[in-house]
Amino acid sequence: MGKEQHTFDIYSPPKIEFVRGEGARLYDADNREYMDCAAGIAVNCLGYGHPHMVESLKKAAEGIWHLSNLFEIPGQQKLATRLCDNTFADRVFFTNSGAEAMECAIKTARRYHFETGNPDRVNILTFEGAFHGRTIATVAAGGNEKYLEGFGPKAPGFISLPFGDHEALKAAIDETTAAILVEPVQGEGGVREVPGQCLRGLRELCDEHGILLMFDEVQTGVARSGKLFAHQWHDVEPDLMGIAKGIGGGFPLGACLAREEVAIAMGPGTHGSTYGGNPLAMAMGNAVLDVVLEDGFVESVNDKAIVFRQYLSELLDTYPDLLEDVRGSGLLLGMKAKVPNVELVAALRDQGLLVVAAGSNVIRILPPLVVNDEDMREILNRMRAGLDAYQATMAG
Ligand SMILES: *Cc1c(COP(=O)(O)O)cnc(C)c1O
């Protein structure tokens, strides 16, 4: 008794009951404070209780909560226009999650080739270590065996290639290739950045072969990288891009962005979503952009990130037995651990600091983008305390 659980036993959360949040801090039922460098996994970009977000949601709650896409939805054209004005894109399809945004991108890529007389171009080239979501198609795109096992036949049409192997990539392109799909910085895969030169190389390959370039910016997007979108560091543009996480600031929202020529392939009736782009989601997406598109906001993220990363780098010298490098872009940061990353995550949590484990034995540090100097100092204090405590257990 008392241990009854009626949710799927998929996650094993620590026994902490978070009851409120403020900025970059969370508080449990005993009012213990935690510095939050998980931020709902790069979702809560404006932290907790941001006044503009709270006001916007209250206002939206007094309006129409839901309207089918059979009708013109308030806020949709505004949010789509703002996303297009600030990116390569001309058209947007709204979803409720990152996986759905990627599903739409995958369908759009195939449909584009179908409509332009190349129905055999169906295969999507992806990279080892990728993560694109947990639906049947997106686990196939991610190619991670652990996520595919036991779920029946892997959806066809996804070819996973070694990370950074140009020859393998060139050899994989043929007349069945529809698109190349890549995260500019792999998040789940261990905060692995794709060099700008490689992204530009992918663009050239795509142009040469008439195939589409798709970016998954579900985690890297909406100023997380220190630019509005991570690829904007590198003078390269995709044909299709999936976003989610930060764009809703905590409200479930995703989007597939596309160039006109590509989006046009998705004509009436080709796709749909009951909830995607609903009025509440549009209000929250617009509220996030009200803040993120303010003059200087994105630059401020980058400025903070440079300082923060410098501090993290200094930890490498202090804890050479625990940490081996600092990586990432903007406030999507990772530290590669020399000891099991999940043990470090737990040791930091014991000191009131929340971080996230990622692939390649990395710990991910994803503070809300509104993190301030005092927060950053406190994060570092707790990080040192956690690393000291861990080191003491090793010595003992
Ligand atoms: C989180 C994530 C997804 C999946 O998003 P969901 O909202 O969980 O479906 C896809 N791609 C990347 C890069 C992500 O980080």
CA 22 – ligand 1 centroid, Å: 25
Answer yes or no: do 203 and 329 share one domain: no
Please count the helices (runs of H) and the strands (runs of E) in the chain: 13, 17
Report helix, strand and coil shares of the chain as percent, to nearest 5: 40, 20, 40
Whether 141 shows a pLDDT value over 90: the answer reads: yes
**Residue 12 placed within a domain:** no
**Residue 301 placed within a domain:** yes
**Residue 58 placed within a domain:** no
CA 91 – ligand 1 centroid, Å: 21
Residue 2: predicted pLDDT: 55
CA 102 – ligand 1 centroid, Å: 8
Residues 240-259: tens digit of each pLDDT = 999 999 999 999 999 999 99
**Residue 13 placed within a domain:** no
- Give every CB contact of residue 103 below 8 A, 6+ residues apart in sequence: 95, 133, 135, 137, 138
Q: For the domain that residue 314 is a member of, what is the CATH number?
A: 3.90.1150.10
**Residue 5 placed within a domain:** no
- Lowest pLDDT segment from 2-16, 158-172, 313-327: 2-16
**Contact call for residues 130 and 139 (beta carbons, < 8 A):** no
Whether 354 shows a pLDDT value over 60: the answer reads: yes
Cα separation, 117 vs 134, whole angstroms: 31
Residues 33-66: tens digit of each pLDDT = 999 999 999 999 999 999 999 999 999 999 999 9
CA 262 – ligand 1 centroid, Å: 22
Strand (E) or helix (H) holding 299? helix 297-318
CA 133 – ligand 1 centroid, Å: 5
Cα separation, 351 vs 340, whole angstroms: 18
- The last residue of a domain, from among 248, 274, 292: 292
Answer yes or no: do 244 and 196 share one domain: yes
* Ligand 1 atom nearest 133 alpha carbon: 4
Q: For the domain that residue 112 is a member of, what is the CATH number?
A: 3.40.640.10
Residue 349: predicted pLDDT: 98
**Residue 209 placed within a domain:** yes
Residue 395: predicted pLDDT: 81
Answer yes or no: do 114 and 245 share one domain: yes
The three-class DSSP label of residue 126 is strand
Atom 10 in ligand 1: residue holding the nearest Cα: 132
How large is the average pLDDT for residues 347-363?
A: 98
**Residue 147 placed within a domain:** yes
The three-class DSSP label of residue 332 is strand
* Ligand 1 atom nearest 188 alpha carbon: 15
Q: Which of 219, 225, 229, 275 to mutate to test the pocket of ligand 1 (most atoms within 8 A of CB)?
A: 219
* Ligand 1 atom nearest 97 alpha carbon: 7
Residue 1: predicted pLDDT: 47
Rg of the Cα atoms in the chain? 21
Answer yes or no: do 96 and 236 share one domain: yes
| Residue numbers of the domain that contains 27 | 18-50+297-395
Residue 73, both tokens: 């939805």
- Give every CB contact of residue 348 below 8 A, 6+ residues apart in sequence: 354, 355, 363, 382, 383, 386, 387
CA 390 – ligand 1 centroid, Å: 31
Q: How far is CA 169 from CA 159, 173, 349, in A?
A: 10, 7, 40
Q: What angle do CA 275, 281, 287 make, to 5 degrees?
A: 170
Q: How many domains does the chain have?
A: 2
Determine the angle formed by the axes of helices 297-318 and 279-292, rounding to 10 degrees.
80
Residue 374: predicted pLDDT: 97
Number of Cβ within 10 Å of residue 159's Cβ equals 17
Pocket residues: Cβ below 6 A from ligand 1: 97-99, 102, 131-133, 183, 187-188, 216, 218-219, 244-245
The three-class DSSP label of residue 1 is coil
How large is the average pLDDT for residues 87-116?
A: 98
Edge-to-edge order in the sheet of strand 332-337 = 323-329, 332-337, 362-365, 356-358
Confidence of residue 4 (pLDDT cuts 50, 70, 90): confident
**Residue 3 placed within a domain:** no
CA 218 – ligand 1 centroid, Å: 6
Cα separation, 369 vs 300, whole angstroms: 9
Answer yes or no: do 223 and 322 share one domain: no
Answer yes or no: do 349 and 388 share one domain: yes
Cα separation, 328 vs 72, whole angstroms: 40
Q: How far is CA 27 from CA 13, 41, 43, 53, 355, in A?
A: 16, 17, 18, 19, 15
Answer yes or no: do 91 and 168 share one domain: yes
- Give every CB contact of residue 215 below 8 A, 6+ residues apart in sequence: 181, 182, 183, 184, 229, 231, 238, 240, 241, 242
Q: Where are the alpha helices (DSSP H) in 86-221?
A: 98-115, 136-142, 145-148, 166-172, 196-209
Answer yes or no: do 213 and 81 share one domain: yes
Q: Which of 94, 131, 135 to mutate to test the pocket of ligand 1 (most atoms within 8 A of CB)?
A: 131
- The last residue of a domain, from among 243, 268, 292: 292
Residues 264-320: tens digit of each pLDDT = 999 999 999 999 999 999 999 999 999 999 999 999 999 999 999 999 999 999 999
Atom 15 in ligand 1: residue holding the nearest Cα: 219
- The last residue of a domain, from among 269, 292, 315: 292
What does the mean pLDDT of the chain come to?
97
* Ligand 1 atom nearest 98 alpha carbon: 5
CA 319 – ligand 1 centroid, Å: 32
Residue pointed to by tokens 């894109």: 89
* Ligand 1 atom nearest 245 alpha carbon: 7
Answer yes or no: do 274 and 349 share one domain: no
Q: Which of 41, 95, 191, 218 to mutate to test the pocket of ligand 1 (most atoms within 8 A of CB)?
A: 218
CA 106 – ligand 1 centroid, Å: 14
* Ligand 1 atom nearest 254 alpha carbon: 7
DSSP 65-117: S---TTSPPTTHHHHHHHHHHTSS-SEEEEESSHHHHHHHHHHHHHHHHHHTT
pTM check: above 0.95: yes
Q: Is 363 left (phi over 0), alpha (psi -120 to 50) or beta?
A: beta
Whether 227 shows a pLDDT value over 60: the answer reads: yes
CA 43 – ligand 1 centroid, Å: 10
Residues 180-210: tens digit of each pLDDT = 999 999 999 999 999 999 999 999 999 999 9
The three-class DSSP label of residue 254 is strand
Answer yes or no: do 175 and 235 share one domain: yes
Answer yes or no: do 140 and 43 share one domain: no
Answer yes or no: do 138 and 37 share one domain: no
* Ligand 1 atom nearest 100 alpha carbon: 9
Residue 291: predicted pLDDT: 98
Cα separation, 98 vs 307, whole angstroms: 30
